[in-house]
């Protein structure tokens, strides 16, 4: 059991950026993002025994993370009296340009206007997933993934322009 735990922890540490990005795409507030992060890790741990290695670990991980985020998002929307204390969460990269942080904040704010599936599409696109990989992760056809992704990118561009964000 200890060996399984160590392998799991190493895999999570290697790919925790995926979890951070999903948490940030689906939740606005810092606490909500942390809660979703923890929920995703818990669900990955619970589902880990089902990972057989037939696909890449990251492919399996994307699917579990996105499913967890979708379920969590639905539950979170039902909660009453949500208060956002701090929406500026991100680890500052000292090698990062000043403008990049601002652009990321614009992107995450614009993404909040997308529906749950559109968020998943954009996330997978930003992760450089091919149309085939996106289709596999979302359980849809490759053609459907391509069409939905193009429509979602157009919608996101409209939202960015509508809100006056500058890139």
100 vs 64, more confident: 64
Length of the chain: 167
Indicate the CATH number for domain 96-167.
1.10.10.10
The pLDDT > 90 percentage for the chain reads: 49
- Kindly report whether the global pTM for this prediction surpasses the value 0.75: no
| Each residue's pLDDT tens digit, 38-53 | 999 999 999 999 998 8
Domain positions in the chain: 1-89, 96-167
How far apart, in whole angstroms, are the C-alpha atoms of residue 58 and residue 62?
A: 6
Reply yes or no on whether the pLDDT at 83 is more than 80. Answer: no
157 vs 104, more confident: 157
- Report the topology of domain 1-89: Rna Polymerase Sigma Factor; Chain: A (1.10.1740)
Give the mean pLDDT of the chain: 83
How far apart, in whole angstroms, are the C-alpha atoms of residue 60 and residue 137?
A: 8
Residues 6+ apart with CB under 8 A from 21: 123, 126, 127
Q: What is the pLDDT of residue 55?
A: 84
What is residue 50's three-state secondary structure?
A: helix
Residues 6+ apart with CB under 8 A from 151: none
Reply yes or no on whether the pLDDT at 26 is more than 60. Answer: yes
Reply yes or no on whether the pLDDT at 7 is more than 70. Answer: yes
Q: Do domains 1-89 and 96-167 have the same CATH topology?
A: no
The pLDDT > 70 percentage for the chain reads: 83
| Each residue's pLDDT tens digit, 104-136 | 788 888 899 999 889 999 999 988 999 999 998
Reply yes or no on whether the pLDDT at 64 is more than 50. Answer: yes
């Amino acid at each position: 059991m200890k060996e399984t735990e160590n392998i799991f922890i190493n895999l999570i540490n290697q790919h925790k950026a995926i979890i951070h990005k999903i948490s940030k795409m689906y939740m606005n507030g810092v606490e909500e993002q942390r809660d979703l992060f923890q929920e995703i890790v818990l669900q990955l741990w619970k589902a880990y025994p089902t990972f057989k290695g037939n696909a890449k670990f990251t492919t399996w991980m994307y699917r579990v993370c996105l499913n967890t985020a979708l379920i969590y998002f639905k539950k979170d929307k039902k909660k009453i009296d949500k208060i956002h204390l701090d929406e500026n969460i991100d680890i500052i990269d000292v090698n990062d340009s000043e403008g990049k942080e601002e652009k990321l904040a614009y992107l995450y704010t614009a993404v909040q206007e997308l529906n749950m599936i559109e968020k998943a599409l954009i996330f997978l696109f930003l992760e450089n997933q091919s149309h085939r990989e996106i289709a596999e992760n979302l359980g849809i056809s490759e053609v459907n993934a391509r069409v939905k992704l193009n429509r979602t990118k157009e919608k996101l561009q409209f939202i960015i322009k509508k809100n006056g964000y500058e890139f």
